[in-house]
Amino acid sequence: MNEKIIPYLTTFYFLNSKGFTDFPPGYSRDKKIVEYIRSKLLEYYSDFVDDFGSEIDRIAHIQFEKMVSTKCLKKVEDDFAGSYYKYLSGNYDGYRSSSLNQAIASRYNEIGPSFMTDVLSAIIREDNSQVVEAAPAADRVVPLNHNDPAASSLKQQAAQFVEDLKSANDLGNLNAVERDVAIYEAFQLSDLLHQPAVRASEVEARSIRLLKWVAEAAGSGLIGAAALALLAAIAAFFGFPL
């Protein structure tokens, strides 16, 4: 499994849930606690289990060790019975804070829950891609499978951006001629994203040129925000930095 996915799993779990609210009471063996954590992650990430279900055990052990190190789990040694652990709910906030990757959390707060699906799908797709090894990473060909929820969401967002440009009243510093240019280029970008497969470098170049220009010209209004949201979604899907 791609190692990049682990901090995302941890962060998204704590951004979207109340955590381990029904933790086993009293003292438990480490095996029982790891199994509990594993069951919670499997339940929460059920949409992705087919892609990394075999790695859930390792992720659960990583979570367990972090809970011990942050004193969210109290370890008790017994000379005869061995080690036991008890969940300390009062230390939960400290554990939660230590588990959040602030950079990921910040982007999540900007974009919303769809960012989780986009990023995890992109990481999984990167692991499963059948890119020719001789091809430079920037020129890799990325399939846009219509059965992929993240790809479908991205296509819809791109098409909606074209419609928003056509109907918006507040375009900031974009004049009528520039609006027409933006609509034409946004349509081209949307059309590109509706192809069966595309070169990542081509999408990156087009989306950055267009969407950063529109965002800067349109300012903080609806169109500016929509341009930035679409750019962030495209970057997450194709895995290029902003």
What residues does each domain of the chain span? 5-104, 129-238
Structure tokens that stand for 216 in this block: 């800067």
Residue 131, pLDDT score: 39
| Look-up of token digits 């008790």 | 76
Fold classification of 129-238 is de novo design (two linked rop proteins) (1.20.1440)
Q: How many CB atoms lie within 10 A of CB 2?
A: 13
| Cα end-to-end distance, the chain, whole Å | 25
* The model's pTM: 0.47
- How is residue 24 annotated by DSSP? P
Mean pLDDT, consecutive 10-residue segments, the chain of 242 residues?
58 63 78 84 68 68 80 81 80 67 61 63 54 47 81 91 90 88 94 91 92 88 86 87 74
Structure tokens that stand for 31 in this block: 């095996």
The SS3 assignment for 27 reads strand
Residue 162, pLDDT score: 94
Residue 132, pLDDT score: 36
Residue 135, pLDDT score: 38
For residues 60 and 41, is the Cβ–Cβ distance under 8 A? Answer: yes
Residue 166, pLDDT score: 92
Q: What crossing angle do the helices spanning 102-111 and 5-16 adopt, rounded to 10°?
A: 60
Residue 11, pLDDT score: 66
Residue 95, pLDDT score: 67
